[in-house]
Structure 1
Amino acid sequence: MTVRRALAATAALLTLGGVAACSGGDGSGSDPGRVDVVAAFYPLQFLAERIGGDAVTVTNLVKPGAEPHDLELHPRQVGQVADAELIVYLGGFQPAVDEAVAQNGNDRAFDVAGVQPLRDATEGGHEHEGEAGHEAEHGGKDPHLWLDPTRLATVGDRLAERLGRVDPDRAADFAARAKALHTELDGLDAEYTRGLATCQRREIVTSHTAFGYLTARYRLEQVGITGLSPEGEPSPQRLAEVAREAREHAAGTIFFETLVSPKVAETVAREVGARTAVLDPLEGRPADGDYLSAMRTNLQTLRTALDCS
């Protein structure tokens, strides 16, 4: 996080000090019949809404179309964290959220990073110049666990348990919805396994290394132009290295993302004579559909790019 962002987040927290104290953090939401849940970004919103159903009201801290990595919290959002009955977040992914939770909601927080060990940032990928700095932002861990449906299913199971402690009368409902979602995510996993089993190529060139969990699960290899931060600027040496690797693997597609400029991907694509395509890391809510439909769109995009039979 830049110095400017750090100062903005700190100012928001200080401004909210009096508001949080007045609110008492008692979790009283707008609808007393529902559990007031704050989700740090879209995949966690998806889980909370699917598992909570009509028993929850879910607020996503990231506005539609915004990039969640370096989220800056406004005073009202810090107040939402202070008042929530449950805060669902991923520790280390959004420093401003970590800070707001530490100051205003530690006892009501569910950190999905603690459900299963996170992958090391360089595990299964290509290490390159400047990557150490990007890794440091996330404690050397890759936060993008939701791109493995089986991991997201396990997070959903634990979230149902936590919701059940907040609202014991509906614990059985939460568990039932989590079980149904787990079955859907297992089905999605099976679709990926079948769909990517027989491909001409197994290397994907991506604008940043968000897809380590997906590539590890389905035996692909990720070549990232930049590291974990989508705002990273690759050096000319790194661009040349990626272009060389793309030629070696006969990569016909260079992937860019929905919330990030495609310019870097387009530069590499021009260099190697490839096309570009969107591979959605699902850090923000899809323009159409939901997590499941966006993941299925990603699967079809990968099958086309990798010449899968």
Structure 2
Amino acid sequence: MKPAALLLSTAMMLASAPMARAEVPNVVVSVKPIHSLVAFIMQGVGEPRLIVEGAASPHTYTLKPSNAAALQEADIVFWVGHGFETILERPLDALGSKAKIVALEDAPGLQKLKMREGGTFEPHQDDHTTEAGANGADDEHAHNHDGHAHEEGGFDTHLWLDPANAKAMAAAIEETLSAQDPANAVTYEANLAALNANINALDREIRQTIAPVKDKPFVVFHDAYQYFEHRYGMRVIGSITVSPETMPGAARISEIRQKVTELGAACVFAEPQFEPKLVNVVLEGTSARAGALDPEGATLPEGPKLYLDLMRSLATSLRQCLSSAS
């Protein structure tokens, strides 16, 4: 575009900005990682509202009156879907056709991994991946109360922990926003391109960060990291609990401790939202070190940068603990 034409185009956009801003949809998002993707794409246009704020976990969160009010005022609601934020199922059903509800677990191009059973699962196999739309249908939704899908055909819902999935969800977010708010479609499209560039660079950075430690086995608090593990070839050998709101019994703790010893796990990772003393119990009598991972950004400030910071923090925490272990 020639300079004169560019100036004219810019002037026209600025002149129409007040009208466009008045048309901006009221957007509500369920959890921090998804909110971050939406906030990045909406930069310069508007700010989405977040339901599960601060260090709260969607596994144990109780909706507040302010959350209910935000949902009632929403034009668009983005959430992962039925298998993750079970707290939102009834409130979203009650909205009827008042808002466009977008389950990002249905975004085209997602790679979905089947949920592993039990706390001492084996390293992933390549035959447990599925893709949305493959064989003519998406994976069947599984309704449950622990954020994990255990029914036949169900899948792990921590989809954002694979950067390729984050890009697929971001594309669905941009498409929804542009269709609802065409006056700002150019901005949404430009922001999506910038987000994709950032995610691509982050993906390369993470591979470099964890390369020296990716073959060291470790145990996590709950099985939330399968997408990260699958993307970067890491060795998660088990989880302390399957359902993060249900504490494991003595038999499971003993089983995990035995596996930590037998397989030489370098680290056992806690999570900031849950009681860390269980990790200390698992570590007793082993040579493994304690670490912490934050798969949902509980300790990070909400906003456009959170997703990038969350993924970078996971890689850094893994590198620090695993590299210092014997």
TM-score by structure 2 length?
A: 0.76
**CA positional deviation for 1:279:** 1.0
In the alignment, which residue of structure 2 is the partner of 1:299? 315
| Structure 2: runs of 5 or more not aligned | 1-20, 123-141
Q: Is the 8 A contact 2:280 2:290 kept in 1?
A: yes
Please state whether the residue corresponding to 2:47 is helix, strand or coil: strand
Please state whether the residue corresponding to 1:277 is helix, strand or coil: strand
Counterpart Cα distance in 1 of 2:145 and 2:36: 26
Q: Is the 8 A contact 1:38 1:81 kept in 2?
A: yes
- 2:116 is aligned with 1:122: yes
In the alignment, which residue of structure 2 is the partner of 1:214? 228
- 2:237 is aligned with 1:243: no
Cα distance, 1:161–1:124 mapped onto 2, change above 3 Å: farther
In the alignment, which residue of structure 1 is the partner of 2:135? none
Q: Is the 8 A contact 2:120 2:255 kept in 1?
A: no
In the alignment, which residue of structure 1 is the partner of 2:239? 224
The one of 74, 77, 96 aligned to 2:87: 96
In the alignment, which residue of structure 2 is the partner of 1:111? 103
Residues 1-309 of structure 1 aligned to structure 2 (within 5 Å): 32-92=22-82, 93-105=84-96, 107-115=99-107, 116=110, 118-122=112-116, 126-127=120-121, 138-140=148-150, 141-199=155-213, 201-222=215-236, 223-227=238-242, 229-284=243-298, 286=300, 290-307=306-323
In the alignment, which residue of structure 2 is the partner of 1:19? none
Larger fraction in helix:
1
Counterpart Cα distance in 2 of 1:280 and 1:137: 16
Q: Is the 8 A contact 1:34 1:54 kept in 2?
A: no
Counterpart AA for 2:227: Y
Counterpart AA for 1:277: G
Cα distance, 1:160–1:137 mapped onto 2, change above 3 Å: closer
Counterpart Cα distance in 2 of 1:167 and 1:123: 42
Give a deviation string over 1:182-238, Cα, whole Å, max 9, x none. Answer: 1111111112223333437332211111111111111113211111x2122112221
- Higher RCO (C-alpha 8 Å, min separation 6): 2
**CA positional deviation for 1:274:** 2.7
> Number of residue pairs matched?
274
Q: Is the 8 A contact 1:70 1:95 kept in 2?
A: no
Counterpart Cα distance in 2 of 1:172 and 1:158: 15
Relative to structure 2, which stretch is displaced further, 233-242 or 166-175? 233-242
Cα distance, 1:158–1:78 mapped onto 2, change above 3 Å: same
Q: Equivalent pairs: percent with the same residue?
A: 26
TM-score by structure 1 length?
A: 0.80
Relative to structure 2, which stretch is displaced further, 237-246 or 159-168? 237-246
Counterpart Cα distance in 2 of 1:44 and 1:136: 19
**CA positional deviation for 1:64:** 1.0
Q: Is the 8 A contact 2:221 2:279 kept in 1?
A: yes
Counterpart Cα distance in 1 of 2:24 and 2:249: 50
- The CA RMSD measured in Å over matched residues stands at 2.7
**CA positional deviation for 1:180:** 0.8
Larger radius of gyration: 2
